[in-house]
């Protein structure tokens, strides 16, 4: 996949206004193994994210690092249970890992989640998270990292 293909594939979709909270989630690989930052895992993530609205989940911004994933997600609380959604996400990414010839176990059992309180906290967290590849010395500018982006433009819905 070239840089031009990636830019076309990762374009912003329709803006989604959520009545439910936006979660900031971090999950790590088993023993912090450096296995996630690959094209096949990234493609598995994008396929999973694009199918999300049919299951009550809208993935916003994300960064796949070698040994962990940061993702923002809005969930329809009436359709989805959060731990079940995380299990599905990890299973989907494990398919990409198996494609790369990496055997299980792939994931730590737990994950960290935090409910964002406002649009400002989403933007503030995203500004910090997107710089992970820069702080790790992998790229000079965050938008040069090929394993991050935004699937849906999440915004809070205010009545």
pLDDT of residue 19: 57
Count the Cβ atoms, other than its own, within 10 Å of residue 29. Answer: 22
Residue 93: what pLDDT? 96
Buried-state track 98-134, b at ≥16 Cβ within 10 A, e below 16:
eeeebeeebbeeebeeeebeeeeebeebbeebbebbe
User: What's the first-to-final CA gap in the chain, in angstroms?
Assistant: 42
| The predicted structure's pLDDT at residue 156 | 58
- DSSP letter string, the chain: --HHHHHHHT----EEEESSPEEEEEEEBGGG-S---SHHHHHHHHHHHHHGGGGTEEEEEEEE-SSEEEEEEEE-TTT--HHHHHHHHHHHHHHHHHHTTPPSP-B-S--EEEE--SHHHHHHHHHHHTTHHHHTTS-SSGGG-TTEEESSEEEE---
Position 55 scores a pLDDT of: 84
CATH assignment of 3-156, among 1.10.3430.10, 3.30.70.1290, 3.90.1150.10, 3.60.150.10: 3.30.70.1290
Tens-binned pLDDT, residue by residue, of the chain (159 aa): 444 444 444 444 444 444 577 889 999 999 999 999 999 999 999 999 999 988 889 999 999 999 999 999 988 766 678 888 999 999 999 998 998 899 999 999 999 998 887 766 788 889 999 999 999 999 999 999 999 999 998 875 444
């Amino acid at each position: 996949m070239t840089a031009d293909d990636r830019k076309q594939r990762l374009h912003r979709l329709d803006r989604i206004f959520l009545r439910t909270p936006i979660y900031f989630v971090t999950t790590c690989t088993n023993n912090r193994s450096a296995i996630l930052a690959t094209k096949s895992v990234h493609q598995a993530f994008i396929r999973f994210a694009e199918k999300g609205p049919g299951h009550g989940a809208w993935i916003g911004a994300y960064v796949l690092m070698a040994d962990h994933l940061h993702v923002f997600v809005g969930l329809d609380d009436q359709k989805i249970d959060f731990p079940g959604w995380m299990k599905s996400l990890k299973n989907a990414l494990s398919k990409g890992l198996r494609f790369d010839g990496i055997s299980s176990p792939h994931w730590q059992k737990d994950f960290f989640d935090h409910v964002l309180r406002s649009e400002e906290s989403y933007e503030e967290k995203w500004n910090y998270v997107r710089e992970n590849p820069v702080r790790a010395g992998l790229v000079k500018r965050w938008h040069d990292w090929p394993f991050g982006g935004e699937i849906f433009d999440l915004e809070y819905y205010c009545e």
